[in-house]
Chain A
Amino acid sequence: MLSRLVLRAAPAALRALPPPPLPVGVLHATRQLHTTQQSLAPLPPLPEKGGEVRHGLIPEEFFQFLYPKTGVTGPYMLGTGLVLYLLSKEIYVINHETVAAACILSVIIYGVKRFGADVAAFADKLNEEKMAKALEVKNEAISSLQAAIDEEKKEQWRVEGRTYLFDAKRNNVAMLLEANYRERLMMVYNEVKKRLDYQVAMQTLKRQKEQDHMIQWVEKNVVQSITPQQQKESIAKCIMDLKALSKGAHAAL
């Protein structure tokens, strides 16, 4: 792991060194050590997984490094031999600290194995929540804009139907106007008829009055012109007619 740190830190460390006073061609050659871009933005993405380790401690690269010469069991043989060498030569002395070391290491390994996945999931959840909050803003903006688009489309559809609406309204208005016109026409007719009827009634009345007046005048004159002698003669004639009639009636019975 430290080797990986060194390898990753090498470009930055080399960059931090003062530039050597070399000709330009050599500088280009040393740029081969630059593995990343020289500018800070945009940031290169984080790798998805950390470095592969075996048994939690030893990087995979070590095993790959030894594989061509010693095969799969090479690193393990190396490890065992190293441990046995240290123990047998008493370079590492077994004392009370060994037991304490065994205890604390077993506690640590148990803790990591038991809670490791949960802690990783928790960290991922924290990051996910952070991203979800930002995505929420974006998604809400998108959905509100989509709703606005749908509303707009609906309004456009409504506009198409507007011509029918206007036609209907126009018809309605025309009908109203027509009805109003006819009503007023009727009213005019009625008024004119009323006036003409009035004139007719006036004339009729006038003629009747003239007639009555003339009849009265004629009667008055006739009654005035009846002399007493004529009166007596007419009465006698009436009596004679009556006698004749009565005789005729008696005869009929």
Chain B
Amino acid sequence: MTTAARYKSRVFKSEDSEDKQYVGFATLPNQVHRKSVKKGFDFTLMVAGESGLGKSTLVNSLFLTDLYKDRKLLNAEERINQTVEITKHTVDIEEKGVKLKLTIVDTPGFGDAVNNNECWKPITDYIDQQFEQYFRDESGLNRKNILDNRVHCCLYFIPPFGHGLRPVDVEFMKALHEKVNIIPLVAKADCLTPNEIKKLKDRVRDEIERFGIKVYQFPECDSDEDEEFKQMDKELKECTPFAVIGSNTVVEARGQRVRGRLYPWGIVEVENQSHCDFVKLRNMLIRSHMHDLKDVTCDVHYENYRAHCIQEMTSKLAQDNRIDSPIPILPLPTPDAETERLIKMKDEELKRMQEMLEKMQQQMHEKDTC
């Protein structure tokens, strides 16, 4: 059940309007719905991974549009010393009156050069830049039209040809896991049999845990959700990382026209749940958790960045008073619980020592007078 459907079921029925006890704030969800439809949504999605893993195809399949027209791919020779670029494509799409401004951030050149040292640096810099820009806008005087360009989600494509995560995958995810929600995907899953997929997923999950990479975790279900939803949620969690297949072409299979890939030995259907996890990814990304991704970005990643930024600034200012900061300085952050406790302890110690000193002085006095 989609969220919209669930909320509609709580809309008050017209028969109750006669009941005098009824206040009417049950219409709030409706009002939220109306306003948000009017305002429209925005979402920024980043795709990262080596060339040739099907990133563009997957994005096209997800949003059922053709974002990558006339793309120029580099030769192997040109890629030997390639640096990572950041490209943005923005499209406005609409469905049933709901407008979505979708921005896809692409990272061509990642992992393509022969020497890939720190190839994730341009990407982390880009994400930090977006945070910084939002931070400035938020602290500015005129806050009416803040553009939110922060990256809400990063789909990381893991090649299926290996035995698990490679060093470059691990390094990339570790550099980004505290800045953006990472969703790892196993790309081009049509080269793996179901057994192999399972083995690879277990392997990747183990390695993610072993290296301490914090990928995006689905929020726990509320206990009052219905069973179907809980079951879906559980399945979803056990399926990560999703093994996906994308396709730009429509083929004829079992009498229907579906998105798929045509092989001599069969047809892979992108939306067939027994073939790949594309449907699960789409549901999760677009139909149920899009807003949660945005919330986690705002509440967790951005707040971390902001706190870090402010602390740095105040410590720097303490050293050099002449720096004129472009952002108004807020009062020093209140010491957290840990330091407070320490301060209290030290105070008590001081008091005790003072008392002891007084006692000793008294004693000395008495001795002298004797």
Genuine A/B complex: no
